[in-house]
């Protein structure tokens, strides 16, 4: 019994001594060693791919916006003054950016508002006279600077000269326009329309978007 008691006493003594040492080490900081930090591995290839994908989306949205804003503006044709190129109620796409890079040319079909009146509907006519030129209609023929105008697009005969019966001198930013259907067109021959200033021009009619047989580019 005595021997067993001595053994138990010895075990308890060693246990207390070990516990004392552990507590002492803990106080000194050895028992609270910092845990190893997890390393974060970045997949550079995946990050680059994500940024490329985002960049493509932004560029696509930007291109779509510009296309709609400058090439996809829709205007409805009112009347048959541009027949047979355009019919009444035809939906026309207007190129609004083309004249930022170049000036309107003779033969262009333009979209404008007469006198710059924002309350008016859009008119669609063809440019006949350019800035600085003199326009006159004599015996149902258009004359530019005294020379007969040769046209390579189909028109009807002119019945009325209107204000162009006398010589009209165009200013540095003015154009003279006519409808191709000249028997039924309110254009620069009318005092209500008259000379069309560059600032009145909305853009160039370039495509007929109506689902009809005349669907296609405006010539």
- Residues marked active site are found at 81, 125
- Distance between CA atoms of 74 and 207, rounded to whole angstroms? 10
Cβ atoms of 214 and 90 closer than 8 Å: yes
């Amino acid at each position: 019994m005595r021997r067993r008691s001595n053994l138990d006493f010895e075990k308890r003594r060693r246990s207390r001594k070990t516990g004392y040492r552990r507590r002492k080490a803990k106080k000194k900081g050895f028992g609270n060693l910092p845990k190893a930090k997890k390393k974060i591995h970045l997949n550079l290839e995946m990050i680059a791919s994500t940024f490329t994908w985002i960049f493509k989306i932004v560029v696509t949205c930007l291109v779509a916006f510009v296309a709609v804003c400058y090439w996809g503006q829709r205007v409805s044709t009112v009347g048959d003054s541009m027949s047979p190129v355009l019919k009444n109620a035809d939906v026309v796409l207007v190129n609004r950016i083309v004249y930022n890079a170049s000036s309107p040319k003779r033969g262009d079909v333009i979209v404008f508002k007469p006198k710059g009146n924002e309350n008016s509907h859009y008119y669609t006519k063809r440019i006949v006279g350019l800035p600085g030129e003199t326009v006159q209609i004599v015996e149902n023929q258009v004359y530019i600077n005294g020379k007969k105008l040769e046209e390579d697009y189909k028109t009807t005969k002119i019945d009325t000269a209107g204000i162009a019966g006398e010589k009209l001198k165009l200013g540095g930013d003015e154009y003279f326009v006519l409808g191709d259907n000249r028997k039924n067109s309110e254009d620069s021959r009318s005092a209500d329309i008259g000379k069309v200033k560059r600032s009145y021009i909305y853009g160039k009619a370039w495509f007929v978007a109506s689902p009809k047989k005349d669907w296609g580019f405006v010539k």
